[in-house]
Amino acid sequence: MLEITRIREHKDAIIEGLKKRGIDAKLEVEAILVTDEKWRTTLSELQTVQSSSNKISKEIGVLFKTGKTEEANKAKEETAALKAKEQVLKQQVGELEELMKEKLYSLPNVPLDVVPSGVSEDDNEVVEEIGEKVMFDFEALPHWDLAEKHGLIDFELGVKVTGAGFPFYKGKGAKLQRGLINYFLDEAEKAGYSECIPPLVVNEESGIGTGQLPDKEGQMYHVTEDDLYLIPTAEVPLTNMYRDVILPNEDFSIKISGYTPCFRREAGSYGKDVRGLNRLHQFDKVEIVRIEHPDKSLAALEEMVNHVKQLLSSLGLHYRILRLCGGDLGFTSAITYDFEVYSAAQERWLEVSSVSLFETFQANRLKLRFKGVDKKTQLCHTLNGSALALPRIVAALLENHQTTDGVEIPKVLVPYVGFERI
RNA sequence: GGAGAAAUGGCAGAGCGGUUGAAUGCACCGGUCUUGAAAACCGGCAUACCGAGAGGUAUCGGGGGUUCGAAUCCCUCUUUCUCCGCCA
C-alpha cells in the first residue's frame, strides 16, 4: 500500500510511474486525493465536536461533585445535540476510511526508474546470461522421464494420495531434496541470514500484510474451518514476524532465511507448463527476507542477487537474470529480478528465483517502522528472494547433468546427498 | 473439548464511573554534583492521526453496548494461566 503522504506530494510521479505497468491510474489517484481531503475535513469536524462534548462532561463532573445537581442536569441536556452530531460524523469518518483503504489496497506499487515498461513477459529485460547450453550426443530426456527411470519421483502416486501437483519424492530423489534444502540454508547462513522455521499456515492479517490478501485469495489454500491460509511462500510468515514492530533505532539490518513447503492453488494452469516438476501445488523453497533502512535497501537487493547467482553457478547451471518489466511485476514489488535456469531437455527457461524490493509498500501495511535520529518513526523497506525454489532446480539438475546411464551430482552437493551420481 | 482466573506504558505493578494518558518502582535519556565514575538530587521518557502552530482527537487485549462521562459496568471475540480430558 502506497503511503498517503507520498500520494499527496508526488501525485504526478506516481501516475507516471504506474504507466510502466500499463495502467492509467490518474482517475484512481485523484479519487484518492478527493477522499483524503474529505476525510481530513470531516475528521477535523468530528474532533471539534468531541472536544466540546468532552469539555462539558468534565464540567458536569465538577458540578455533581460540588452538589450543583440542577445545573448538571441542565448541562446534560446540552450534550444531546452534540451526541447526535458526533454520531453522524463518526459514521462518515468510518465510511471514508473504509473507502480510502479499499482504494489504496487496489493501487499497486510504483516501479523504480530502472524498471522497463511493458505489458508482458516478452518485455522483460535480460540483464545477464551465465553459462552455456549443454550439448548432448544422445537423446536427452526430460526430467519426468529421468525421475521415473531412476525412481526419484512418483507423480502418479501423488495423484492417488492427494491429487495432481503433489508428487512423492523417493529414495535418491528424496535425499536430493533434503540435500538441496540443507545446502541452501547453509549458504544463507554463511551470508549472514539467521534461520527460522515459521508456521505453514497464517491468518488473514498476515496475508494482508505482505499483499496476498485481499484480491489474490484464489492463489492460497484457505482452511475455512479456522480461517487460516496455507502459505504460498515463506515470505508471508517471515515478513509478518515484523508486523506492528517499531525498531528502536536506525542501525538495523534484519536478515532471515527459512525453508518451508509452499502451497499454491495455481488455478487455470495446464499443458506442458505443469508437466513434471514445472508447476506444483506443493513445493519446497528456501526463502531469504530482509528488512532494511531505506538508504540501504538497494545495496541489499544487489547482495541478494549476487547470493542467488552464486548458488546457481555453484550448481553448474546455465541461467539468466531478467529485470521484470512493469507489466510483469508483482503487485507489491517496486523492482524484481527473476532468475531462470535453462532446462536442457525441455529446451526452455524455468523460473527458479525471484528477488524483489518492495520499498515501503509492505511495511506500510505491516506498520513496520524504525525510530530515526529525530525520534520520528519511519517505514522500513522490505525485500525477499527465493534462494532457491527446489523443483525446477531439480528438473534442471536432472536434465542438464544427465548421462546415458545416470545423472551427475554437482560437487557442492555431494557432501549433502551422500552420493556422486544417480 | 470442558471448568475457572486474568489481560493496564519497555518491564513490574496501582487504579474510586468524573480535571487519569493513566500512581509508584525499575529500566532508559538529559542535567547538577564529581578529577572521572557510582550514589544522591532535578528534569524528561507510549503510539497514531488532524493541525503551519497553539493545540486537539483516539488508544488501558480486539469489537460492540450502557452513560452527559468508561481503564473502571454489561455483552462478545481473542489470547494467556490453572485444573480436567485427548494427543505426536
Domain positions in chain A: 4-105, 121-417
Nearest nucleic acid nucleotide to A50, CA to C1' distance: B57
* Residue pair A284/A259 in contact by the 8 Å Cβ criterion: yes
Footprint of strand B on the protein (CB under 7 A): A 4, 40, 43-44, 46-48, 50-51, 53-58, 60-62, 64-65, 72, 76, 79-80, 83, 246, 369, 371, 375, 377
pLDDT at A75 over 80: no
Task: Note the pLDDT tens digit of each residue in A340-350.
Answer: 999 888 888 99
* Residue pair A405/A399 in contact by the 8 Å Cβ criterion: no
Query: Quick one: pLDDT band at residue A136, thresholds 50, 70, 90?
Result: confident
Residue written as grid cell 551420481: A421
> What does the pLDDT read at residue A212?
86
> What does the pLDDT read at residue A113?
94
The DSSP annotation for A342-396 comes to EETTTTEEEEEEEEEEEETHHHHHHT-EEE-TTS-EEEPEEEEEEEEEHHHHHHH
* Distance, CA of A4 to chain centre: 21
Q: How far is the CA of A53 from the C1' of B23 (A)?
A: 27
Q: Which of A37-41, A86-90, A333-337, A355-359 has the lowest mean pLDDT?
A: A86-90
> What does the pLDDT read at residue A250?
83
Q: How far is the CA of A242 from the C1' of B65 (A)?
A: 34
Nearest nucleic acid nucleotide to A73, CA to C1' distance: B68
For residue A44 the three cell numbers come to 477535523
Q: How far is the CA of A106 from the C1' of B77 (A)?
A: 29
For residue A119 the three cell numbers come to 505489458
pTM metric for this prediction: 0.89
Residue A345's closest CA among A144, A174, A151?
A144
Architecture of domain A121-417 in CATH? 2-Layer Sandwich (3.30)
> What does the pLDDT read at residue A271?
65
What is the C-alpha to C-alpha distance for residues A363 and A366, in angstroms, rounded to an integer?
5
For residue A177 the three cell numbers come to 531434496
Q: How far is the CA of A293 from the C1' of B57 (A)?
A: 31
Strand partners, A258: A287
- Phi first, then psi, for residue A414 (nearest 5°) are -55, -45
Q: What Cα–Cα distance (Å) separates residue A280 from each residue in A158, A350, A413?
A: 11, 13, 24
Q: How far is the CA of A226 from the C1' of B81 (A)?
A: 23
> What does the pLDDT read at residue A301?
97
Chain B bases closer than 7 angstroms to a protein Cβ: 18-19, 47-51, 56-58, 68-69
Q: How far is the CA of A87 from the C1' of B65 (A)?
A: 14
Query: Quick one: pLDDT band at residue A269, thresholds 50, 70, 90?
Result: low
- The pLDDT of A352-362, averaged and rounded, is 94
Query: Quick one: pLDDT band at residue A372, thresholds 50, 70, 90?
Result: confident
What count of Cα atoms within 13 Å lies in the side-chain half-sphere of residue A254?
27
* Residue pair A353/A307 in contact by the 8 Å Cβ criterion: no
Is ipTM > 0.85 here?
Answer: no
- The pLDDT of A406-420, averaged and rounded, is 93
Asked if the domains A4-105 and A121-417 are classified in one and the same CATH topology, the answer is no
* Residue pair A263/A282 in contact by the 8 Å Cβ criterion: yes
* Distance, CA of A50 to chain centre: 40
Query: Quick one: pLDDT band at residue A270, thresholds 50, 70, 90?
Result: low
CB atoms within 10 A of CB A34: 10
Nearest nucleic acid nucleotide to A65, CA to C1' distance: B18
Task: Note the pLDDT tens digit of each residue in A209-221.
Answer: 888 887 766 788 8
Assign domain A4-105 to its CATH superfamily.
Serine-tRNA synthetase, tRNA binding domain (1.10.287.40)
Nearest nucleic acid nucleotide to A47, CA to C1' distance: B57
- The pLDDT of A171-184, averaged and rounded, is 95
Nearest nucleic acid nucleotide to A49, CA to C1' distance: B57
Q: What Cα–Cα distance (Å) separates residue A344 from each residue in A145, A319, A395?
A: 13, 11, 10
Q: How far is the CA of A263 from the C1' of B53 (A)?
A: 53
pLDDT at A193 over 90: yes
Query: Quick one: pLDDT band at residue A70, thresholds 50, 70, 90?
Result: confident
Q: How far is the CA of A250 from the C1' of B40 (A)?
A: 34
> What does the pLDDT read at residue A187?
96
Average model confidence (pLDDT) across chain A: 89
**Range among A90-94, A102-106, A392-396 rated most confident:** A392-396
pLDDT at A69 over 80: no
**Range among A157-161, A227-231, A337-341 rated most confident:** A337-341
Nearest nucleic acid nucleotide to A37, CA to C1' distance: B50
pLDDT at A66 over 90: no
Q: How far is the CA of A167 from the C1' of B51 (A)?
A: 60
What is the C-alpha to C-alpha distance for residues A381 and A356, in angstroms, rounded to an integer?
11
pLDDT at A268 over 70: no
Q: Which of A83-92, A135-144, A212-221, A407-416 has the lowest mean pLDDT?
A: A212-221
The DSSP annotation for A209-274 comes to HHT-TTT-GGGS-EETTTTEEE-SSTHHHHHHTTTT-EESSS--EEEEEEEEEEE---TT--GGGG
> What does the pLDDT read at residue A92?
87
Strand partners, A201: A230
